[in-house]
Chains A and B, each alone.
Chain A
């Protein structure tokens, strides 16, 4: 597999990969697959149209991982891919996705990935998704991930979604349907700068008794950027849901948090928390009394907040 320096750097940013990963993987670069491997328990099948993958994880698969990073280093590419994950009963796996775009050109580069997860009874999935943009061209770096999660009884999905730098425009839509005893945890970390825009939309339906969802977003909006966090939890039975938006605004940054809770059962327990504000002055002062400059103090506070 041949990757140039930019592609290698993007891979490192989005998947912490320095070389070809162990286990099952597919690496997509500039619109096509440049490397793929299945294992005994995890099969990666390309879709016939070339625009995506079907990943089948056998029941009972343990301690295995799937890496499916996407890198784009050419200006002017626009793609839409569909990846379906079938996670077999009782499996316990880590799925690492992510997209890095380096755009030095004048045309926009866009990657829209639709990920669907079909998580069978009792299966555990840890899903990690990192988005990163670089390059100083006038062309925008656009990422619109769509994630759908269908969770069977007593399944567990933990999603860690990170977009820290360089993506100009993003609309992130996550939908989940939870059956009996299913548990969903989402940790989102988002930072926007310049005149970037990021929308993050969640819709979680808790349909099964004893299901639970915890959606927590921590975000920082700098410069003239804009973010919208729109999280709807529907409690349709005895279930528990919690959503939280904790955000720091700097410069002319703007954030709109729209938490939505809908309890359709008297036994649904739903909570939302949202807090938006600038960095507290006493936090800056404390770090300055330790010898940091105001800029260094800000950096430490934000790094910690998004860690």
Chain B
């Protein structure tokens, strides 16, 4: 599905090149839910942005579905089948929730079609469909709408950058359920989640640990998770939920 070959991304930091992503090679097979984890500043979010085309690599190649997409624009990658959920969802004055979901599907849809995506992320569609995607929405609401746009886009590869960031405990509980549902209907597609949350790591088929821009470890969740528990690399799930 997705293959990264010797991927690098460096920035110029006070006259010196700093490697944010350092010669990373990995593959995300079809039909898998893969979680990338690791300490803050390790390069996880950068990797997600490189896959979506928001950042351009300084070295290496990205192959998607057998096609090299390294030089493709964000739009071309989106059309080729890559979806990307922002860590911090964007606000738009005037654009309504319905508009955003309609744009995500790429076709004319009815209100009830759009409502299904909102219901799937635990929002009462009637209350939200006509709302503007502006600062009147809370962080948790925005995050769920962001995820609804990814569901609506129905990409071959859906990438989520820290979906747990900025949401409340109640929303988080729903979020896990959303990912579980996506996992059940994964056939023909893949899901890549950047996360620190133990509860999200638990539902992964596979975990990749990234530290200092390099892949430190990877394997089935049941092998990797015990090694991470108790370290500062992950945030444990709350025992109450």
Q: With the chains together, A301 CA to B92 CA distance in Å? A: 7
Please name the residue on chain A nearest to B86 by beta carbon: A286
Interface of chain A, main secondary structure: helix
B90 touches A307 (CB 8 A): no
Q: How far is the CB of A14 from chain B (nearest CB, A)?
A: 22
- Judged by a CB distance under 8 angstroms, whether A266 is at the interface is no
A287 touches B103 (CB 8 A): yes
Interface size of A by CB at 8 A reads 22
- Judged by a CB distance under 8 angstroms, whether B149 is at the interface is yes
Q: With the chains together, A301 CA to B93 CA distance in Å? A: 8
Q: With a 10 A CB-CB cut-off, give which of A218, A287, A289, A304 has the most chain B CB atoms.
A: A289
Interface residues of B in 67-109 (CB under 8 A from A): 73-75, 78-79, 82-84, 86, 89-90, 92-96, 99-100, 103-104, 106
User: B74 contacts which of A246, A280, A285 (Cβ < 8 Å)?
Assistant: A285
Q: How far is the CB of B92 from chain A (nearest CB, A)?
A: 6
Please name the residue on chain A nearest to B79 by beta carbon: A291
Q: How far is the CB of A300 from chain B (nearest CB, A)?
A: 7
User: B149 contacts which of A218, A246, A282, A290 (Cβ < 8 Å)?
Assistant: A290
Q: Please name all residues of chain A whose beta carbon is closer than 8 Å to the beta carbon of B93 when the two chains form the complex.
A: 218, 246, 304-305
B54 touches A283 (CB 8 A): no
A289 touches B79 (CB 8 A): no
Q: With the chains together, A294 CA to B73 CA distance in Å? A: 10
- Judged by a CB distance under 8 angstroms, whether B193 is at the interface is no
User: A283 contacts which of B79, B92, B96 (Cβ < 8 Å)?
Assistant: B92
Q: Please name all residues of chain B whose beta carbon is closer than 8 Å to the beta carbon of A161 when the two chains form the complex.
A: none
Would you give the 0/1 interface string for B104-146, flagging 1 where the beta carbon is closer than 8 Å to chain A? Answer: 1010000000000000000000000000000000000000000
Q: Please name all residues of chain A whose beta carbon is closer than 8 Å to the beta carbon of B82 when the two chains form the complex.
A: 289
User: A304 contacts which of B54, B78, B84, B92 (Cβ < 8 Å)?
Assistant: B92
Q: With the chains together, A288 CA to B94 CA distance in Å? A: 18
B74 touches A300 (CB 8 A): no
A290 touches B92 (CB 8 A): no
B94 touches A306 (CB 8 A): yes
Interface residues of A in 260-307 (CB under 8 A from B): 280, 282-283, 285-294, 300-301, 303-307
* Known interface pairs A289-B84, A290-B106, A290-B149; A280-B75 also in contact (CB < 8 Å): no
Q: Please name all residues of chain A whose beta carbon is closer than 8 Å to the beta carbon of B214 when the two chains form the complex.
A: none
A304 touches B94 (CB 8 A): yes
User: B153 contacts which of A283, A290, A293 (Cβ < 8 Å)?
Assistant: A290
Q: With the chains together, A68 CA to B92 CA distance in Å? A: 35
Q: With a 10 A CB-CB cut-off, give which of B52, B78, B82 has the most chain A CB atoms.
A: B78
Q: Please name all residues of chain A whose beta carbon is closer than 8 Å to the beta carbon of B90 when the two chains form the complex.
A: 280, 282-283, 285-286
Q: Please name all residues of chain A whose beta carbon is closer than 8 Å to the beta carbon of B84 when the two chains form the complex.
A: 289
B95 touches A304 (CB 8 A): yes
Q: How far is the CB of B4 from chain A (nearest CB, A)?
A: 18
Q: With a 10 A CB-CB cut-off, give which of A246, A283, A286, A301 has the most chain B CB atoms.
A: A286
Q: With the chains together, A280 CA to B95 CA distance in Å? A: 14
* Known interface pairs A292-B75, A307-B94; A285-B103 also in contact (CB < 8 Å): no
Can you offer 10 A-B residue contacts whose CB atoms are under 8 A? A280-B90, A283-B90, A283-B92, A289-B83, A290-B149, A290-B153, A291-B78, A294-B75, A300-B95, A304-B92
Interface residues of B (CB under 8 A from A): 52, 54, 73-75, 78-79, 82-84, 86, 89-90, 92-96, 99-100, 103-104, 106, 149, 153
Interface residues of A (CB under 8 A from B): 218, 246, 280, 282-283, 285-294, 300-301, 303-307
Other contacts beyond A288-B78, A293-B75: 17, CB < 8 A: A218-B94, A282-B90, A285-B90, A287-B103, A288-B75, A289-B74, A289-B78, A289-B84, A290-B78, A291-B153, A292-B78, A294-B75, A300-B99, A300-B103, A304-B96, A305-B94, A305-B95
